[in-house]
Amino acid sequence: MDYLKFSILTIACIGGFMATSYSYLAKQKGWPIGSYFINGNMSYIVVGGFMCQFGSFIISFFVNPWWSAFLVFGLGFVGYMVLSSILKVYSQIVSGVLVVVSIILIPIYVFGNSSLNQNTNHLFSSIDFSNKATAIINQSEPIDTLDYKSMEKIMGYKNQALAEAKKVDIEMLNQRLDGFGDHFNEEFMKGLEIIIEGYETNDPEKFLQGQILDDKWGVWYSNNIERIKEGK
C-alpha cells in the first residue's frame, strides 16, 4: 500500500466530514455557523467537503488495496469526531483548510507521476521477493542441502519476483539511468526465468546459469545504487 496516498486521502476524508457536518453539529452545540458552512447554500467549502469525503473513498479503490477505502472512510469519520470535539467552533476554519489543501494535494501526490510510482513499486517488489529467496538460500548453503519445502518456498518467491519484474517498464528505467533497464531485463529478469525453468525441468546446469546472471545483476546494482537514487 502507498502510505503517502493513504495519508492524504484520509486527511481529505476527515476534512470532508468536518465541512459537510459542521452546520448540523453546530446547531446541536449552539456554535456559530459561518455563511460558508450553511448546507442550504451549497457553498464551495461544503461542495468541496462532499468531494473530499466521498472522493477519497472512491479513489482509494484505484490507488491502493480495495480494503483501504473502508479504512480511509472509517478513519475519516473517527478523525472528524475527535477533531470536532477538540476544536469545537474552530472546526469550521480547520475543515476549510483541510478541504482546500486536500484538493491541491490529491492531483499532485495521488495522481501525479502515477505511472512512475507504479513502475517503482513493481521494481522494488520484484527485488524484495528475490531477496527473500536469497535469504533462505544463504541460511543453508550449499543450495543442494535444502529440503523440498525450503526449495518450494524459494521458487515461490522467485515466481513472485518474476511476475512483478514483467510489470516493470524497461524504457522508464533506462530513462532513470542509462543501462538500468537493460541490466534489469537481461540479467535480473532473464536470470529469474532460467532459474525457474531449470528448477521445473530438474536441470541443475540451467539453474546455475540463471544464478550466474542473478549474481551479475547483483554486482551491477550494488555498484550503481547511488547513481540510481540520484538518477544520473
Encode pLDDT of 87-97 as tens digits. Answer: 999 998 999 99
Ramachandran region, residue 203 (left: φ > 0; alpha: ψ -120 to 50; beta: rest) = beta
- Domain locations along the chain: 3-111, 114-230
CA-CA-CA-CA torsion for 20, 21, 27, 31, nearest 10 degrees?
A: -90
Sole residue written with cell 492524504: 8
Indicate the pTM of the whole model.
Answer: 0.53
Residue 50: the pLDDT is 92
Rounded CA separation 100/120 (Å): 29
Rounded CA separation 137/198 (Å): 16
Mean pLDDT of the chain: 88
For residue 112, is pLDDT > 80? no
Please give the span between the terminal C-alpha atoms of the chain, in angstroms, as a whole number.
28
Q: What percent of the chain has pLDDT over 70?
A: 92
Render pLDDT for 21-41 as a digit per residue (tens, 0 to 9): 988 888 888 888 887 776 555
Residue 148: the pLDDT is 86
Per-residue pLDDT band at 142 (split at 50, 70, 90): low
